[in-house]
Every structure is written in structure tokens, then in C-alpha cells.
Structure 1
């Protein structure tokens, strides 16, 4: 699709409880790439290791073997501080549950990660409103999470993930906690955000209908990955 690979995973292996009777080989030599501007669906049965794969791709976990390249740079051997910097600037995370800070407004939840990255406050506030406007809830900017619907909370979480203009978005069942109608609406908002920013994304989902709306589907099962043809 594009010769610029934003994410390139090579030969990833991960085993829990290694050497013990209850050891579980979660990843068995996984290779996966996401090109610039590409949205890839990661489909897997429960317990197949998709969260582990996403955590390794986002430098929240380390593989037993294999390499993670982000933007063409090998992440192997980075210090904890360097990994934190990459996560803060180059990678955005979305989870099934929004994990918004309850004592802060929607806008403030999006401003905070920008302040942590050194963005001036006024610029961060303007960026937050711009993102909230993109997903259609700018009027709710001053509301705390408890005053927002589930769909609105997740839209705020999307905006927070994109606040620092990352190159790569990693999402783990981002609409899995929503009813089907809300899920479709919220997913459409996410895709608009991704497409409008030219972001690269790896999105784990059980929903095959949502997966079919992405550029490509990869399937993780028994620790191995299979790739399907591109949709677009």
C-alpha cells in the first residue's frame, strides 16, 4: 500500500510462565506491518493474545524475542525514559473502557497529555476543542465524564489519544463496551479522525462488520498471524 512502514513487527514471541507446567505461548513468531495512512483490523478470539500484541507494539510490554520498529526506528534496547517519550509523542492508545479522569472536563482530559508533552496551555486547549468538534461533541467540552454518555466518553478518549498528533494509533476493542447502534456511530467518528489526519492505525475488534470497513484484516490465532487481502 505504501513503502513507508509506520509499524513493523518482526518475529515477535511471548510466553507467560515460561518453563512451568502452565506456560502459555501467546505469540509464536508474529510478523506484522502497518503502512503510512493504513488502517489494519486485528481480529482474534478471546485470549488469543491481541492485547499482548498491542502492548508490545506500543512499547508497554517487551517480547521474549523479535523487534519492534516504529517509523523505521528499531525500539529494541531503548531505556524506559526513551520508551515513555516514544509513547507520548508517536503512539496513541484507545482501550475498550475510556479511562478518562473523572475530576476533569472533556476538554481538560485532552489538554493534560499535551501539557505533559510541553505544549503551551492555550494551544492545547484550542487543539482539544478542534478534536471535539471533529467528533461532534464540542458543546460538551466543559462536561465531566459522569455527565457524558458512553458514546461521548469514548469519543473524548479518541480525541485524547490523538491529542499529541501521534503517527500510530493502537486501539483494543475501542467500541466493545457500547451497544451496536452507538458502536457504529462511534466507530464512524474514529475513522473520520484517522482518515482526516492520515494516521496509521492497528485496531483490534471482535466485530467483523467493523473490521471489513478497514483497509486490511489480520487474524491472530494460536499465537500466529494470517493476513487477508486489502479491501481498498
Structure 2
């Protein structure tokens, strides 16, 4: 049996809205993603998939339950230790690329590596390798404003993988793109995941893309169910 990379056990999350109103977003969620597995997370808008991804990626904490990555329970760790773990273990991709506009594609990928202690020369080589792998190596010196939406998102993928995480979390990574561009960008994402062997949990509205992953799970009334 392959190694479990991400494990959520009994995860619940409630938000308070006003003095009395409470919104239960997640309720006793159990979810596993195995090493090298791509799992699609399908849910309507507002169903809590972003909250689930934030908890899985150590950006938020659950009210109950545990979050383990690579067999290590990170639930009760200090904010500092969670930040270090997140930087080393997890890569994030969002619907919007969130690239730094004043830096080139290559620099956007180099910066998180420098923050993680990588020498600049090695960080640049890593950035060049990743950009070439997604087919836009010639765009390394361009700023985001000079790139298409699909190119920007592929740079965002490279940035997410810059520090060689073991887990990739993506929240509607093709949701802001037209169908043709979405297809190309999705293929680039799949290529990166398969080439590196990392695990991925990818939230998407696109059922056709979801069906091409290893497994589909759905978020329904705060709980994860099989697709």
C-alpha cells in the first residue's frame, strides 16, 4: 500500500458570523491523499473547499480533528513551526496567479527558494528548469504583465513547486482561463505532478478535468464523500 501523504481525520471548522450566527463549514472530514496521487475535489462555490485546502496546507487550523503530512501530525504545532513546515512541505496554486508584478517570471520562482535558504545560482537553475518543463522557458525574463493568462498560471505552478514540496494544493487553478487555455495549463500541471511524483489535491468546477485525475471526491454539506 502506498504511503499516505496527506491525512485529515475528523476535521471540523465553524465560523462565527455576528453574535449568535454560526456557520459549520466542515464537519468530521476524513480525507487521504497518497504519495504520487492526484485527487480532484469537487464542490459548488461556498461549500468550504477553500477552507479545506487552507486547513490541509496549514494556513488555517481546525476546531477539531488532525492534519498530518507525510505521517507527521502538524495540528498542535506553534505558528512558527507550522510556517516552516508549510514552506518546505506544501505548494499552493490559486485561481489567480498572484505573481509579483515588478519581478520577472524567473525571479518570481527564485524568491521563495531564497527565502528557504537556497543559494541564488542554484535557485536560478531550478527556475529555468521548471519554466522549460512547462514549455515557457523563453519567457523567463518577462514580467507578468507581458505574459498571457495561461503563461502567468504556468509560472505560478513553477513557483509552487520551487522548493520541491511533497504536497501540492490547488484551488480552481484553471478557473480563470478560457477552455483552450485551461486545457493547456491543466496538461502542464499534470506533467509537473507526474514528473516530480508529488501528491496533489486539486479543487475544480471542471468535471471533465476532474475525471482525468486518479480519484474524485466531493464536498457535500461539510463532509467529503466519494465521487
Deviations 1:187-232 (A, max 9, x none): 000000000000100000000000001000000011011013xxxx
Distance in 2 between the 1:118 and 1:72 partners?
Answer: 25
What is the aligned partner in structure 2 of residue 179 from structure 1?
A: 178
Distance in 2 between the 1:203 and 1:39 partners?
Answer: 7
Deviations 1:102-158 (A, max 9, x none): 000000000000000000100000000000000000000000000000000000000
What is the aligned partner in structure 2 of residue 79 from structure 1?
A: 78
> Any stretches of 5+ residues in structure 1 without a counterpart?
none
What is the aligned partner in structure 1 of residue 59 from structure 2?
A: 60
What is the aligned partner in structure 2 of residue 94 from structure 1?
A: 93
Distance in 2 between the 1:127 and 1:9 partners?
Answer: 31
How far residue 77 of structure 1 moved from its aligned partner, in angstroms, is: 1.4
SS at match of 1:136: coil
SS at match of 2:129: helix
Distance in 2 between the 1:97 and 1:67 partners?
Answer: 29
Determine if the alignment matches structure 1 residue 8 to structure 2 residue 14: no
SS at match of 1:190: helix
- Scaled by the length of structure 1, the TM-score of the pair is 0.96
What is the aligned partner in structure 2 of residue 152 from structure 1?
A: 151
Q: How does 1:1-232 map to 2 (within 5 A)?
A: 2-17=1-16, 20-228=19-227
How far residue 16 of structure 1 moved from its aligned partner, in angstroms, is: 0.7
Call closer, same or farther: CA 1:18–1:74 in 2, change over 3 Å: farther
How far residue 20 of structure 1 moved from its aligned partner, in angstroms, is: 4.6
How far residue 18 of structure 1 moved from its aligned partner, in angstroms, is: 7.3
How far residue 22 of structure 1 moved from its aligned partner, in angstroms, is: 2.6
SS at match of 1:165: coil
- Scaled by the length of structure 2, the TM-score of the pair is 0.98
SS at match of 2:10: strand
> Any stretches of 5+ residues in structure 2 without a counterpart?
none
Distance in 2 between the 1:38 and 1:129 partners?
Answer: 26
How far residue 42 of structure 1 moved from its aligned partner, in angstroms, is: 0.2
Instruction: State the superposition RMSD in angstroms.
Output: 1.0
Distance in 2 between the 1:194 and 1:128 partners?
Answer: 16
User: In the comparison of the two structures, how many residue pairs are matched?
Assistant: 227
SS at match of 2:176: coil
